[in-house]
Structure 1
């Protein structure tokens, strides 16, 4: 490596000056850094091959590039960009900038499989030095453009895994999780230096510092000054870098680039004086031993891996570039505005590719108004421009009042459109505040950053009425988030095929706005292929790209009218990346479904879903049968039943589809039924006993077994296997116990009467009542395998609500509701329908409604009471024997009249008199136990009073009340107990 002694003394005065300053303030360490920076500048400028240092998306670099290309007119341009991206550069003619050149790989060979997919993007904007060099080389006859940076394969070969994961895992707008490649990453690589520069520069972020202290001074500087300053900055950041691993990768890149350039010079015989090497300023200050065309130091470039890389162009945007490379929001838009203003000010004609969208005419031959002299070639003396630049403050631009006034008026108008209460006074305030902020920051002309801060302070204040804040409105005013577009000719074959097949819709698919497509498939059957394609794209693209508004596609169903919201222009990148996977949409869809099914983590439910998608979107019976056979294999090999509900739902739907539209079931369906029957019978006892297996999964297993039973038995399965599995199941969880009872009832091992009696016993046991919601959960899940139990489930829930006291029911109700919601949401509609059939539909019918289970259970209790001589036996006996028997009605009435109930009524007669008056009853009170009080009516029912009715007998209303009290004495007895 060349040292200061080997270089001329052009920069010796500056070196000595910096060394003295360093000794005074920082010692030998600082002296070594400062003098080393000067050595790097001297070395880069004396290189025989002219080095053009740039910064990524820098207007100053682009302006200097335009001037230098028109002055030097090089024959060969070496560009720091991945060498395998070169064939894509000619496709930039068919795009609207900004776009990104992309390399994409999904099938990896030589990289860990979990890295897939790999993606590398290199954004290109018009206000960048690299685009000006590309446009010059492609539009000028006889000029060769050579990309010399590492290939995209080497990007991941040389990257550390943790760095790749950090870069690959962050979202960056249109670029997604792609790794960004930029020319000229000029930013301090440790936080202390950046914080120091921002603090003393009185700016908020790095982009503003760079604009104030580098962009503005260099935009009008001479080429020699530009080169020396850029190399000096690159050397500073390089020498202060604290990441040895990243620096090692950068040095390997520099060795790669110098090796490729020497190889090209040797192969073509080009004169280095006619060449230009465009690279980042960081690499221009390289100190590797391969530096220079005269270096003989070898460097072995490792071979690429077997990974197949696919290449294309994707749309980019200013915000995507900012997000991916850590720039401040709006900085790229401000750079574009600065570039446009400088081009007009200096009357430059930038280079543009002929026919490019959004660009004017191709490059003109007009030269700049004041051409700068070319820098000296190798062997010539080099003027020291650094000393003057560093010692003299840069000339400040004068205040451009017209420009600033235009900004202030436009931002107020834009703010009012977005809901701000802005006025002319706010425009004046923004104008004055912008000038004030610029003065505080040491500049005479307010920059867009000063204008942004002033607008936020004067207009936004403390509230944002709409979706956009004032800072975002300033970005829109200064150019907005410009979004690129890839032209039709630059699209991959799949994307062009999509455009061609959707042409009958009559829409401009390049628009970024949402467009509505209306398809009347009955009136215009020719739109059927468009509908099929849209449904496939709906499956493959992001949800916002293709969204159905009306119409749906299910097995066996086709809509006659459809309505779609299409946003292909906004999601152009996703459509382009589909082209990396295949030639047609059908091919990509088939590959994805096959990849899903043969994935090591695939399950039978995943395979059934793939079968359904293949039938819906591809209509291929062969491919569906292939996926179905794979589903049988996966089901037979599963040792878990977690996906049983999904398996049951999908196989039922597929069987219904094939039975309705096919003469016979596919062979794989029959195999799935038999394999599933044997598989779930084997796992059923374990699933019942396993605490980790939920009741929903067990219910789905039973649903599969019972619903597939007839088909499985017809194909040779044995029903005894299922009965044996049920008999071997001994669950302890309440929900699974209820589910097992339902299964035994379905198999005939238990009657419904036995099941009802068990539930009544549970409700009557205070120790079991707190767990009764879990039993109900089991019965609800049993509606899946045993739909006939839906009425019984309604009966069980109704009995619980009717019999449980409030002290038990109220704490239990929220738990029951949440349990039903979380674990049986899909079964609730069937339960509600059954309840609707059971209960009356009108309010008037509620009073006379008697639930079917109440009459049945009442009859059972009456029969038991007759046998035991309990309450109600008298009525039953009277009905059966005509008043004769061991316990005659009169005796029962006398026992009731002699009890505490008549005494209670006689002691509190006012209440009874009021109720009697409301009911229209008349009679005299008789003390309890008197002969009159023991009188009975002709039917044998005792009467509480001896009063006679109009006919001379007992009053009918009194007789009815006495009969009611005699038949149901429990409420009155309970009330008497509470009151006495």
Structure 2
């Protein structure tokens, strides 16, 4: 560590050094590291106190620091306030007056340049509460004429420049201050208001040496660090004077700094931050010529006790500040909350709420007037009468600048540490009224939350709080003692409501106050959203859920609001805009809609949208382009972007551009993982364009043509690939069969599909069944042959255990070949009818699990087909014969009248020849011995039933008109018996 070689020359702490030297010699047995640490701490305090530019050490969100800051600002009235906060956030601090605290100043970058791509988006937040020293400094500087506020900490860009993450480690970045586990975690949604942003704060004051913190907690008889700080630092410093406060905070900062372990990267970052801040302050002093005595440097106590060479206005180090990257940063205010601050910076749950309560009590007790920004939202404005009637605040007279200039530099500071460290603990008397009020309030809150609490529980909480404080050597119970007593006496075994007693105490002590960014401080996009939703006449900035009812039929102007809400639903997190009634799909628009809106709760997400553009349409277009042109974009994702562009943005420009991009992505894909989604998206887009456009867009015609060839090429490989699921292969076939007519009209060749199916040789049973279905669709396999193969599977004992997988393939085949539903129902029914119970019962769970996991979306089609085939009533089931088992009834040949249609074939002999050719008979009709007549008369007279069947089959109902005398039945059938029997067999005539 780089340190200055110049030792402090002040004699103010000579007595304290002597006492610490004796203590080190007594406890350590001589000079060793302990003496160096103790004496070094005094040197750090002496050096910081002697600095001409007054350093004001603070602890983040500490009421004692805020109170001391308010006092010092009224006494000193500095002209320049240097504040430890990211220097690029300065222009945004003036917007704090339009917000209700707590809020966080945010720097956001969605498109980065100079950082690893996987870090995007970058976000830095600095939360600000009213009970914090930084807010007092900001309010003083902004509302006091002639005062300049200068932020001197590293910029948001440098926060990530100094980040030690490696691009490939995938580690999640935490705050600058390493967050320790909280003592009591919170499950409230407000804890996530900061998202995944990196947090920066003023005054991280916590031991970085785990053994030291454990030692302090054990001997302090407390549970966590926040309670220790409240008991042993916050309360004693609440009434201390300015010099005592500064020296104690310097001492604590030096202690934690010297006991920080190692010389790691974190130490280097801390030292670089200090060099950065002192370099910026010296540059400002040199540029403006400001007297250091008129300045005040507000920083964390950890950085106040610095030992770098650049420390002080007379520092000797030359620190070179690196330039910022080309990343474009956006700045804004986002809502924060006590729970979000606690979660991000590793504080105990409820500690910030308790600090707010302590701040209010300190103001009332000391009658110090705090600084508040003029017009600050969420603060009470006292009336003129009350202000006049109120007794004047006793504030010390401001010290002249000449005296201040001659103060720290010319005269050594008085030693206040010795007296503070030697004084006995202050025994605060018990405030029975306050404790009694707490006890009554917690019982009332518990009863509202479902606890069976009574007056006896209030008395028990009161007495237990006093008992716990006594056991912990405290005369007055702290809020933490009271919280433990309430949990012990009220919570019992179960929590009947959503909140436990610990959370109820936190709410009672001040609650999880949630900030709000005012309308004037919102980015243009957020203001535009509120303006466009103004016709709804709802207070959308208020937290909670608001119900919006839109009747576009009676109020057409609400259609614009509906468009905004659907875009917000697409862009914001779930719950910000949730539709209760109504839908928006391709080609469909609702005339009535109902929405649950919670834009006030999700204000941070809405504000961050403003960093990406000035309107919702611009942000949505940018996100769709980012999705479509991303390096990992898939065809299904690009088609989804096309659908969103058509739904929300209208027009054809963006949709056509993204559609062309989908064609490029499809050409580069070598897997079929996204085939189901591609099929679903393309079907929807085709149906929309066919009903709403005069012609199909060129890009979708090209997509169908390219997709047909693409999936034909991948089909044989997908059938053999073990990683390709049966659902993905079925989706490929669904694309090929459903788009076949359009693809053929666009110039594709069906032979390519036939060859792809012929080259497919799957090993998986499900894919085998799917291949059979495809062959049926192509005509290379008949339904009878498919039924025969299913019967063979059931007849083979070795195949029966895998029969459910064949059925899974058949069910998936309903996607490309929905006409096979009756065959699938037959296959399932035959399995239940033929398999014995010892085989069927173990096999049934496998069938159900297979169908449920692999074909859940296609099961309704199968169920509808089964409902059509099976009888609707139970009584008809006993006599019901399955259609695939029913045999047609033979027709009896009547004696009279003569069969119909005798004149059919004699008048059209070519028909008889066509029937013979169909049956594979090449021998022609030869007239029999006897009277000559038209060809085929002997056959028809010999098989009158066959003649009637042929006539009905051909739709000919003319009567039987004999043109020649009847021939003997054996005249023609004797010569051509095979043809006659073939025709009779074809028509099922005995």
User: Greater shift after overlay, 362-371 or 782-791?
Assistant: 362-371
1:25 aligns with: 27
> In structure 1, what is the equivalent of residue 234 of structure 2?
215
* CA distance in structure 1 between the aligned counterparts of 2:806 and 2:127, rounded to whole angstroms: 62
Distance 1:90 1:373 in 2: 26
Question: For residues 750-798 of structure 1, what are the alpha-carbon distances to aligned partners after superposition, in whole Å with 9 as ceiling and x for unaligned?
Answer: 1111111111111111121111111111111111111111111101110
TM alignment of 1:830-845, pairs within 5 A: 830-845=861-876
Q: Given the alignment of the two structures, is residue 95 of structure 1 paired with residue 99 of structure 2, yes or no?
A: yes
Residue 486 of structure 2, aligned match among 424, 439, 455 = 455
Tell me if 1:62 matches 2:62.
no
Partners of 2:162 and 2:340 in 1: how far apart? 25
Q: Deviations over 1:182-211 (max 9, x none)?
A: 101000002111000000000000000000
Change (3 A) 1:86 1:840: same
Distance of 1:299 and 1:84 partners within structure 2: 19
Would you say how many aligned residue pairs link Structure 1 and Structure 2?
A: 860
User: Counterpart in 2 of 1:968?
Assistant: none
**Aligned-residue offset at 1:368:** 4.2
User: Quick check: 1:430 aligned with 2:445?
Assistant: no
Q: Which has the larger share of helix?
A: 1
Which is worse superposed, 664-673 or 684-693? 684-693
- Report if the CA contact (8 A) 2:76-2:398 is conserved: no
After the TM superposition, which of the residue ranges 454-463 and 233-242 deviates more from structure 2? 454-463
Output the CA distance in 1 between the equivalents of 2:628 and 2:889.
58
Alignment of 1:54-133 (within 5 A): 54-133=58-137
Give the SS at the match of 2:684. helix
- Counterpart position of 2:280: 260
CA–CA separation in structure 1 for the residues paired with 2:888 and 2:334: 74
1:390 paired residue among 413, 418, 421: 421
Separation in 1, partners of 2:145, 2:395:
25
CA separation in 2, counterparts of 1:87 and 1:262? 21
1:67/1:368 contact within 8 Å kept: no
| Contact 1:78/1:278, CA 8 A, preserved across alignment | yes
Instruction: Say which of 133, 140, 148 aligns to 1:136.
Output: 140
Paired residue for 1:311? Answer: 331
Q: CA deviation at 1:5?
A: 4.8
- What's 1:807 paired with? 838
Partner of 1:369: 394
Identify the range of structure 1 (792-801 vs 839-848) with the bigger mean alpha-carbon deviation: 839-848
Q: In the aligned structure 1, how far is the partner of 2:240 from the partner of 2:802?
A: 85
Query: 1:899 — aligned with what?
Result: none
Alignment of 1:215-254 (within 5 A): 215-244=234-263, 245-254=265-274
Q: Is the 8 A contact 2:74 2:395 kept in 1?
A: no
What SS class does the counterpart of residue 173 from structure 2 fall into? helix
Gaps of 5+ in 2: 180-188, 891-990
Residue in structure 2 matched with residue 181 of structure 1 by the alignment: 200
Q: Deviations over 1:194-236 (max 9, x none)?
A: 0000000000000000000000000100100000000000000
Would the aligned equivalents of 2:582 and 2:594 in 1 still touch at CA under 8 Å?
yes
Question: What corresponds to 1:329 in structure 2?
Answer: 349
TM-score (norm 1): 0.86
Alpha-carbon shift at residue 443 of structure 1 (Å): 2.2
Shift of 1:294: 1.4
1:428-485 Cα shifts (integer Å, max 9, x gaps)? 1111111222222222221111111111111112221111111111111111000000
Asked if residue 728 in structure 1 is aligned to residue 750 in structure 2, the reply is no
Q: CA deviation at 1:361?
A: 3.7
Aligned to 2:126, what secondary structure does the other structure show? strand
Q: SS state of the match for residue 853, structure 1?
A: coil
Q: Summarize deviations over 1:297-334 as a string: whole Å, max 9, x none.
A: 21100001111111000000000000000000000000
> Does structure 1 retain, via aligned residues, the 8 Å contact 2:74–2:398?
no
> Do the aligned partners of 1:354 and 1:361 also contact (CA within 8 Å) in 2?
no
How many angstroms apart in 2 are the aligned matches of 1:423 and 1:737? 72
- Residue 397 of structure 1, CA deviation: 2.1
Deviation at residue 689 of structure 1 after TM alignment: 1.6
Asked if structure 2 preserves the Cα contact closer than 8 Å seen for 1:353 and 1:362, the reply is: no
Summarize the alignment of residues 609-758 of structure 1 with structure 2, pairs less than 5 Å apart. 609-758=640-789
SS in 2 for 1:419: coil
The superposition leaves residues 674-724 of structure 1 with CA deviations (integer Å, 9 ceiling, x where unpaired) of: 000100111111111222211111111111111111101101111111111
* Residue matched to 1:13: 15
Q: Provide the rounded CA distance (Å) in 1 between the counterparts of 2:889 and 2:769.
A: 25
Higher mean C-alpha deviation, range 84-93 or range 835-844: 835-844
SS at match of 1:121: strand
Q: 1:791 — aligned with what?
A: 822
CA distance in 1, matches of 2:45, 2:739: 82
Aligned residue among 158, 163, 173 for 1:159: 163
Of residues 572-581 and 421-430 in structure 1, the stretch that sits farther from structure 2 once superposed is 421-430
Contact 2:443 2:458 in 1 (8 A): yes
> Which position in structure 1 is the counterpart of 2:918?
none
Considering Cα pairs closer than 8 Å and 6+ residues apart, tell me whether 1 or 2 has the greater RCO. 2
Are positions 1:42 and 2:61 aligned together? no
Q: Is the 8 A contact 1:596 1:602 kept in 2?
A: yes
In the aligned structure 2, how far is the partner of 1:857 from the partner of 1:10? 119
Point out the more displaced range, 466-475 or 154-163: 154-163
Structure-1 separation of matches of 2:198 and 2:621: 28
In structure 2, distance between residues paired with 1:8 and 1:591 = 62
Q: Partner of 2:213 in structure 1?
A: 194
Quick check: 678-687 or 168-177, which moved more? Answer: 168-177
Equivalent-residue separation in structure 2 for 1:692 and 1:5 (angstroms): 72
- Please name the residue that 2:495 is paired with: 464
Q: Quick one: distance in 2 between partners of 1:464 and 1:131?
A: 38
**Which residue pairs with 1:341 in the alignment?**
361
Q: Distance in 2 between matches of 1:858 and 1:492?
A: 82
Counterpart residue number, 1:908: none
Q: Is the 8 A contact 1:738 1:779 kept in 2?
A: yes
> Distance in 1 between the 2:230 and 2:474 partners?
12
